[in-house]
Structure 1
Amino acid sequence: MALPYSRSRKDYLQAHHDIGYLSNELIENAVKFRQPGEILIEAGIIDGSFLLRVKNAVDSATASRFQQLLHRLQSKEPGVLLLEQIEINAISPESGSGLGLLTLLSDYDARMAWTFENNDEHIALTTTAAVAMPPSSNR
């Protein structure tokens, strides 16, 4: 997906890095916190942004913990929360990292959204994220 930015080595490397970091974080979280079942991954470049959507099943306890984290994200700037989480992780290794999501919001200016859909067996969590791509010289 970074190939449209290959006329400029700097733009290509930036796009490649941002796409890789975002993809790794969202897919890693989907694998780490999922219930048995498929993980749906959709990706594309839309209006100058790399868009990734990951859908997986989680149990109700995981959904509740994640919704509490999302509520906390609304209380402060992501950069402040990132520094707080780094301090918490340094003191207590059992705290659960949370650094990837905060880094995406703080350092990558990612735009993110989540939906939780209840069904009989689990909760379907859909995470959608977008990061701006460099202006392309060959588009």
Structure 2
Amino acid sequence: MSTRWYPIYQRGGPQLRIFLPNFWMKLVKPTHQQPPNVVQFACSMEMSSTDIKNYLEKIYQIKTVHISTRIASGKTRRDPGKGYIVKDDDTKYAYVTLHKSEKFEFPVLYPEKEKDVNEQKTMEEMQAGYKEYLEKNKERKNMPGWFTI
């Protein structure tokens, strides 16, 4: 199913048409602990579990054992500017179970870097300076911080 419009006739050439569905899938990091062979995707609402299976097998050559889907309702909130009640779009999640022998780990995109000694020393100096500032101004309760002698 596609919303793209293709011309029926092209002048002077053969009718070359390619069917491009409006399907998309996005890998999502799960919020709860899952087995290592289960992968979570956010996908377009029009996709059925058969479409998801074909999508993964034909494009990425991933063999799937089982696919279950759920639709998460979007949040209902009040618009901060006008005060209207607004509902966010619903999202469809697909849980793809791979074979027992296959394991999937979500990639670490931003690894933790080691803390520098200079950063820690600077942080300690800043904390000591702030404590000194609080001690100096504890008698002046309602005075602004910029109003000092």
Question: Which category describes the TM-score, using the shorter chain as reference length?
Answer: under 0.3
Compute the TM-score of the two structures, normalised by the length of structure 2. Answer: 0.24
Greater C-alpha Rg: 2
Which structure has more relative contact order (CA 8 Å, sep 6+)? It is: 1
* Structure with more strand by fraction: 1
Compute the TM-score of the two structures, normalised by the length of structure 1. Answer: 0.25
